[in-house]
Chains A and B, each alone.
Chain A
Amino acid sequence: MIVSWDWLRQYVALDMPREELERRLMMAGLNHESTEQVDGDWAIDLEVTSNRPDCLGHIGVAREVAVLWEQPLRLPATAPAESGGDRVDSLTSVDIECPMLCSRYTARVIRNVRVGPSPDWLRNRLQTVGLASINNIVDITNYVMLECGQPLHAFDFAKLRGRRIVVREPRADEQLEAIDHHTYKLQPGMCVIADAEQPVGIGGVMGGADTEVGSDTRDLLIEAAEFDPTSIRRTARALGLHSDSSYRFERGIDPEGVDWASRRACELILELAGGELAPGVIDVGTSKHDRAPIALRYEQLPRILGIDVPRDAVSRILVALGINVVRESADRIEAIAPSWRRDLTREIDLIEEVARIHGYDTISEDVSVPMARSARTREDRVLERIREVMVGSGFDEALTPSAVEEPLSAAFSPWTDRPPLQTQTPVLRRANQLRRSLVPSLLEARRTNESVGNEEIELFEIAHIYLPSADALPKEPLTLGVTSGRSLGDVKGVIEALCDRLQLSQWPAVEPHDDPLFWPGRAARYVLDGEIVGFLGEVSESGSAVFGLRGPTTVCELSLASLIDGAQLITTLEPLPQFPAIARDVNLELDEGVLWADVEALVRQCCGALLERLDYLETYRDQERLGPDRKSLLFKITLRDAAGTLTGSRADEIRDRIVTTSEQRLGARLRSS
């Protein structure tokens, strides 16, 4: 809302410096955006919150000034002189067929006006607030709107077919050329102002071009009405047509100011354009808004605000705001809000009014707040450890958008086969699919990095993914995603470090896995308690192509819920061993098809409780010495007996048992050195 300094001064004394006015209005709720000088006047741009439509006119702003500076508010009289001719209801009629959309419509008729340019004072007022002058009639309707906040419209009365107004919903295929000379298709649910035959205006939004007031106009019909805010908002949005008028109706006008505005406009028209005002007014519909007294209990002021406000100040503030105090008693004040303040219906509303005028700067910023227990959540503590491991392992943390484009979303969805959730409008360009995996977003980030020539791209992200659910809110598992330039084994090692750092009592098992994103045979899934908790794989050439990646990458994704549950944040010390350990290397020749997991299970079984560690050392392949499809696995077992010194011969026995058992079960052969 742009306010003119000179205009404001018509209603209230402005003895303060302009900056002081701007500052105090800001501290009372009208945020100061900017001020510009226009021909010796000041155009002060104030931000009006949606609960304060009363400040969408100069009088409303002047009232705030009057309250803050304890000055009287001077309102213009509105008593236009009626002529002695035909009464208005003999000249025209108004029918409201859609009272849900238009609750009240008033019309006055002025005949024999002289349409022409506006006087300088009027042109200047409009110029300051950024409105072009059209002619004296149109300028007056705009002026009154900017004065009191009530939008008005003047029709060329002679051009209204049947000389009557019908307020109704549009008929099939009706359209209207508005005064902006665009033609709008009218839709059901909109409110149309029509004459006897066709639409002449979009109610509360914009008038029609062919009934517009022009230089040849002689007779006027002045409309002042009240339209349903929600319907106006929908109409303006549907037509892409937002006007000063729709802006005000969307927020709600003063129901008791409708006729005031009509009289004010007529008075100015008679003064500036002459003519004869037909006696009476057509006032159809109702705009009753019951306003019950609101009780403000004095004790509530310190209870909510933390300050005491003197009772006489409370009453002075309410009265100055136009709030009608009906009763004051020992513990409360009862008051009725003015018609222009429909936002005031509850005790808390009055508390806020008192507070903002009394001043929030009177509230202390130094009171003591009682102490309270607060503990870091388990999730936060586990996530911090995960981040430590990832950062320590050379990964940068990424934050990627929650939505991705369709082809990328489709490229990897290991957690669900259900189609992704979609937003009605894309979150970002083309990205309207809520991600079912972090991997597509991370591969996009990888491509961004490749495209600027970054060589080391090691990224992880911890975020929610969105898995559709049949009949409830979607599941949003917290997930760790990784993209690395390192090998599958390297990334797997990082995950193992992670499991180690979280001191998981049970580590997820690893099984071979297939997914079109990965090279065949170069992917795995993590399984814990029979549930898949993660995926790991090297992205194949075709997978890279989907994301436009040039270099190879290994990706990994882990669902974190089970890690958060299983992490041991507080461990109990195990005493350090008292007896020495013995290590033995074992080198087994095996078929390629035998997995390390098979060997590991066998070793654990053979060693029993004596096994302290099992370390894989290397795999050796040599067609000539080992034969085709054979490999040799070298590993080290470390054995320790908690109850006594383990002898070398006992260790050898166990090693021999491993060799014999693996010969029998895995077709292994001890490799001779």
Chain B
Amino acid sequence: MATLAEFLAQLDALVDEARASFTAASDLEGLEASRVQFIGAKQGRLKAVQKELSGVAREDKPTAGKRFNETKAAVEAAFESARQRLEGSTAAAGPGPLDVTLPGKKQRIGRLHPITQTIADLKEIMGRLGFTVAGGPEIEDEWHNFEALNIPESHPARDPLENFYLAAAERNVGPMLLRSQTSTVQIRVMEHTEPPVRIISLGRVYRPDTADATHYPMFHQIEGLMVDRGVTMAHLKSVLRLFASSYLGADVHIRFRPSFFPFTEPSVEVDMTWGEGWIEMGGAGMVDPHVLSAVGYDPDEYSGFAFGLGVERLCARRHGVADIRDFYRNDVRFLAQF
């Protein structure tokens, strides 16, 4: 009486041998000989093993029987494939024709949000220019959002109506607000890093604007900062030109117009050529000496530039999005277009 294990071992061996034999056959005659040897109705090896099935213990019978059937099917399939191989083109067999013009089975592939795609582009370009991504919190204290950025208490930018202050202050933090610019990250990085610094920060910023086609109370900014010995406004202009040219894939020129931001001086509005004319890119300037001092840098030793651009504007212009509220409506028909 065979144990189940012995029986199953026989089956495994049988499959392997039969496959080897069928594969080895070089013509139909040889294959027929192999067929008789393994699946022959009277004296085939399979038949012989089947007889031993009766000798398997009763409780093992279901398993043994199932495995025998699997073995038989496997051997037969191996023979069939060998036969087809040897009959070659003479055989009419095969899976049969298809209407190949029927639509394929569609795989749903999602889309990345256009803002994410734009941000990825910007990060990649700035990465090639040696800028590393840094991050910071969206809920800020007044030191990082204002004081360290040279925005004193009396400055109109600190008006509660110009910001999203939180309803309750925390004990050790004081008043908190949703950051109104990503420049806060500059401070956080410089507080903990010695120059040289070359970073960009990207993220959500918040300003109380009524939502309309061109305003939204939440938007994304990219902020760049470079501080080292000998960094000048010419570096600022050149980096912005490389950046804009890379983004648009064309030779772009940069224009500075004087402006005013508390945390840079000189401060400028940046325009770039786009098509026929100039379009506004964002704000920039040389890091104000007060800001350098606030983070413990010596303004006589180090200088630096900073710039900030609105991501939505770049993205909307690139894709022809006329209403920036669409970015946050998340209609899948909108998202599917990017």
B40 at the interface (CB under 8 A from A): no
A487 to chain B, nearest CB (A): 15
B170 at the interface (CB under 8 A from A): yes
Q: Contact at A424–B164, with CB atoms within 8 Å? A: yes
A338 to B175, CA, bound (A): 37
B204 at the interface (CB under 8 A from A): yes
> Which residues does chain B contribute within 8 Å of A421, judged by CB atoms?
139, 166-168, 176
Q: Contact at B258–A356, with CB atoms within 8 Å? A: yes
The answer, among B6, B8, B170, B238, for a CB contact under 8 Å with A471, is: B170
B182 to chain A, nearest CB (A): 14
Residue interface mask A593-633, B partner, CB < 8 A = 1:
00000000000000000000000000000000000000000
B329 at the interface (CB under 8 A from A): yes
A351 at the interface (CB under 8 A from B): yes
Q: Which of B66, B156, B161, B253 has the most CB of A within 10 A?
A: B156
A90 at the interface (CB under 8 A from B): no
> Looking at chain B, what size class is its interface with the partner chain?
35 or more
Q: Which of A51, A370, A391, A397 has the most CB of B within 10 A?
A: A397
Q: Contact at A367–B141, with CB atoms within 8 Å? A: no
> Which residues does chain A contribute within 8 Å of B328, judged by CB atoms?
399-401
B23 at the interface (CB under 8 A from A): no
Q: Which of B111, B139, B208 has the most CB of A within 10 A?
A: B139
B235 at the interface (CB under 8 A from A): yes
- For the A-B complex, the count of residue pairs with Cβ-Cβ distances under 8 Å equals 264
> Which residues does chain B contribute within 8 Å of A230, judged by CB atoms?
154
Residue interface mask A347-370, B partner, CB < 8 A = 1:
011011001100011011111111
A26 at the interface (CB under 8 A from B): yes
A547 to B132, CA, bound (A): 40
The answer, among B165, B204, B239, B258, for a CB contact under 8 Å with A28, is: B258
A100-108, A189-197, A453-461 - interface stretch: A453-461
> Which residues does chain B contribute within 8 Å of A649, judged by CB atoms?
5-6, 8-9
Q: Contact at A398–B258, with CB atoms within 8 Å? A: no
A427 to chain B, nearest CB (A): 5
A555 to chain B, nearest CB (A): 15
Q: Contact at B330–A399, with CB atoms within 8 Å? A: yes
A627 to chain B, nearest CB (A): 19
* Contacts A348-B288, A369-B239, A649-B5 given; does A387 touch B327 at CB 8 Å: no
Q: Contact at B241–A652, with CB atoms within 8 Å? A: no
A472 to B253, CA, bound (A): 45
Residue interface mask A623-662, B partner, CB < 8 A = 1:
0000000000000000000000001110011000000000
* Contacts A233-B159, A395-B110 given; does A473 touch B140 at CB 8 Å: yes
> Which residues does chain B contribute within 8 Å of A457, judged by CB atoms?
332
B55 at the interface (CB under 8 A from A): no
Q: Which of A31, A434, A460, A649 has the most CB of B within 10 A?
A: A649
Q: Contact at A398–B109, with CB atoms within 8 Å? A: no
B241 to chain A, nearest CB (A): 5
A131 at the interface (CB under 8 A from B): no
**Interface majority SS (helix, strand, loop, mixed), chain B:** mixed
Q: Contact at A52–B260, with CB atoms within 8 Å? A: yes
A269 to B8, CA, bound (A): 120
Q: Contact at A473–B141, with CB atoms within 8 Å? A: yes
> Which residues does chain B contribute within 8 Å of A474, judged by CB atoms?
137, 139, 176
> Which residues does chain B contribute within 8 Å of A346, judged by CB atoms?
289
A31 to B232, CA, bound (A): 24
B172 at the interface (CB under 8 A from A): yes
Chain B minimum-CB-distance residue to A27: B257
Q: Contact at A363–B108, with CB atoms within 8 Å? A: no
A173-181, A304-312, A499-507 - interface stretch: A304-312
A230 to B157, CA, bound (A): 12
A244 to chain B, nearest CB (A): 17
A626 to B123, CA, bound (A): 59
A355 to B232, CA, bound (A): 12
Residue interface mask B239-266, A partner, CB < 8 A = 1:
1111000000000011111111000011
Within 8 A of B (CB), among A385-400: 387, 390-400
A376 at the interface (CB under 8 A from B): yes
B331 at the interface (CB under 8 A from A): yes
Q: Contact at A367–B112, with CB atoms within 8 Å? A: no
Q: Contact at B268–A360, with CB atoms within 8 Å? A: yes
> Which residues does chain A contribute within 8 Å of B4, judged by CB atoms?
652
B98 at the interface (CB under 8 A from A): no
B114 to chain A, nearest CB (A): 9
Chain A minimum-CB-distance residue to B230: A303
* Contacts A349-B265, A371-B130, A673-B62 given; does A365 touch B233 at CB 8 Å: no
A476 at the interface (CB under 8 A from B): yes
Q: Contact at B109–A397, with CB atoms within 8 Å? A: no
B100 at the interface (CB under 8 A from A): no
> Which residues does chain B contribute within 8 Å of A459, judged by CB atoms?
330, 332
B35 at the interface (CB under 8 A from A): no
A542 at the interface (CB under 8 A from B): no
> Which residues does chain A contribute within 8 Å of B112, judged by CB atoms?
387, 391, 397
A401 to B164, CA, bound (A): 14
Within 8 A of B (CB), among A365-383: 365-377, 379-380
A50 at the interface (CB under 8 A from B): yes
> Which residues does chain B contribute within 8 Å of A363, judged by CB atoms?
233-234, 237, 256
* Contacts A360-B258, A363-B256, A396-B336 given; does A452 touch B331 at CB 8 Å: yes
B303 at the interface (CB under 8 A from A): yes
Chain A minimum-CB-distance residue to B268: A360
Residue interface mask A391-433, B partner, CB < 8 A = 1:
1111111111110000000000000000001111101100010
Chain B minimum-CB-distance residue to A356: B258
Q: Contact at B253–A365, with CB atoms within 8 Å? A: yes
Q: Contact at A423–B211, with CB atoms within 8 Å? A: no
A566 at the interface (CB under 8 A from B): no
Chain B minimum-CB-distance residue to A352: B266
B115 at the interface (CB under 8 A from A): yes
Within 8 A of B (CB), among A319-366: 346, 348-349, 351-352, 355-356, 360-361, 363-366
Q: Contact at A402–B218, with CB atoms within 8 Å? A: yes
Residue interface mask B144-159, A partner, CB < 8 A = 1:
0000000000101001
> Which residues does chain A contribute within 8 Å of B331, judged by CB atoms?
448-449, 452, 454
Q: Contact at B115–A454, with CB atoms within 8 Å? A: no
The answer, among A50, A365, A370, for a CB contact under 8 Å with B237, is: A365
A286 at the interface (CB under 8 A from B): no
Q: Contact at A250–B133, with CB atoms within 8 Å? A: no
> Which residues does chain B contribute within 8 Å of A397, judged by CB atoms?
110-113, 116, 335
* Contacts A369-B238, A391-B111 given; does A376 touch B133 at CB 8 Å: yes
B68 to chain A, nearest CB (A): 12
The answer, among A306, A390, A424, A472, for a CB contact under 8 Å with B165, is: A424
> Which residues does chain B contribute within 8 Å of A367, judged by CB atoms?
232, 234-235, 237-238
A298 to B196, CA, bound (A): 25
Chain A minimum-CB-distance residue to B112: A397
Q: With A52-B260, A369-B129 given, name 4 new contacts (CB 8 A).
A: A230-B154, A399-B328, A400-B328, A422-B167
Q: Which 5 A-B pairs have the closest CB atoms?
A: A306-B234, A306-B232, A372-B130, A29-B258, A394-B108
Identify 23 residue pairs between A and B in the complex whose beta-carbon atoms are under 8 Å apart, listed by A's number: A305-B234, A306-B235, A351-B266, A352-B266, A352-B267, A360-B268, A365-B254, A374-B127, A377-B133, A394-B109, A396-B335, A398-B335, A399-B327, A424-B167, A449-B331, A449-B332, A458-B110, A464-B204, A469-B170, A470-B171, A473-B137, A473-B141, A473-B170
| Partner-B contacts on A (CB < 8 A) | 26-29, 31, 49-52, 229-230, 233, 237, 250, 302-307, 346, 348-349, 351-352, 355-356, 360-361, 363-377, 379-380, 384, 387, 390-402, 421-425, 427-428, 432, 434, 445, 448-449, 452, 454, 456-460, 463-464, 466, 469-474, 476, 647-649, 652-653, 672-673
| Partner-A contacts on B (CB < 8 A) | 4-6, 8-9, 12, 62, 66, 107-113, 115-116, 120, 123, 127-133, 135, 137-141, 154, 156, 159-161, 164-168, 170-173, 176, 178, 196, 198, 204, 206, 208, 211, 217-218, 230, 232-235, 237-242, 253-260, 265-269, 286, 288-289, 303, 327-333, 335-336
